[in-house]
Amino acid sequence: MSLFGLGSNRNQKTFRPKKNAPSGNKGVQLKKHIDATLGSGNLRDAVRLPPGEDLNEWLAVNTVDFFNQVNILYGTLMEFCTPTTCPTMSAGPKFEYRWADGVQIKKPIEVSAPKYVEYLMDWIEVQLDDESIFPQKLGTPFPQNFREVVKTIFKRLFRVYAHIYHSHFQKIVSLKEEAHLNTCFKHFTLFTWEFKLIDKAELAPLIDLIESIVSVC
């Protein structure tokens, strides 16, 4: 069963295969810690770095978890988020996102929302599978730019949440998924806020919701 009961939901469709936490004893231990603290219901405690643990290890394991959460959430909307319904990747009328990965696509291009999410998930998988960025073996050092890579991943995952809330929230409600969405986004928000992973300007499309989350927790 995945986080927040999503694994048992009849509407669940996985956008792509779930990623596992980094292998090695430390990654497994931290994943168990995440699951245990989430079970307590206190999300503020769940996001904090456990005493004595390495920050990069904590960021790595959580990055995989949040990738999986967004993967599952978006999977429930695939038949509704199409190039016809969502010809651009937007978050309301004021915010539109264009895709570039700096390698295959160096100049930002306008694409539909589902194409943007496809590009994004492909790009994140490449980062997660690159052992020079996300080491799989215990004791292997993280690269100096690791935090910057993580920040870019979280910034782009936020855009999927922003699109879902602005373009598909009523469909989420009709599917009775809003509790899952809100809990996942609350967890995501508290984690990114705790470790300052997303610049405030990037949060503008959902800033009212975010400020309500961080002020009451």
Residue among 180, 9, 167 at smallest CA distance from 80: 167
The answer to whether residue 84 sits within a structural domain is yes
| pTM for the predicted model, two decimal places | 0.84
- In tens, the pLDDT along 84-93 reads 999 999 999 9
The answer to whether residue 176 sits within a structural domain is yes
- In tens, the pLDDT along 155-189 reads 999 999 999 999 999 999 998 989 889 999 999 99
Domain that holds residue 166: 53-216
The answer to whether residue 6 sits within a structural domain is no
Intra-chain end-to-end CA distance of the chain, in Å: 26
Contact 86, 113 (CB under 8 A): yes
The answer to whether residue 164 sits within a structural domain is yes
Identify the burial level of 69 via C-beta atoms within 10 angstroms of its C-beta, where 0-12 means exposed, 13-18 middle and 19 or more buried: buried
CATH at residue 150: 1.20.140.30
Containing 124, the helix (H) or strand (E) segment is helix 113-129
- The total of structural domains in the chain comes to 1
Contact 97, 90 (CB under 8 A): yes
The answer to whether residue 182 sits within a structural domain is yes
- In tens, the pLDDT along 13-62 reads 445 555 665 555 555 555 565 555 554 467 888 899 999 989 999 999 99
The answer to whether residue 69 sits within a structural domain is yes
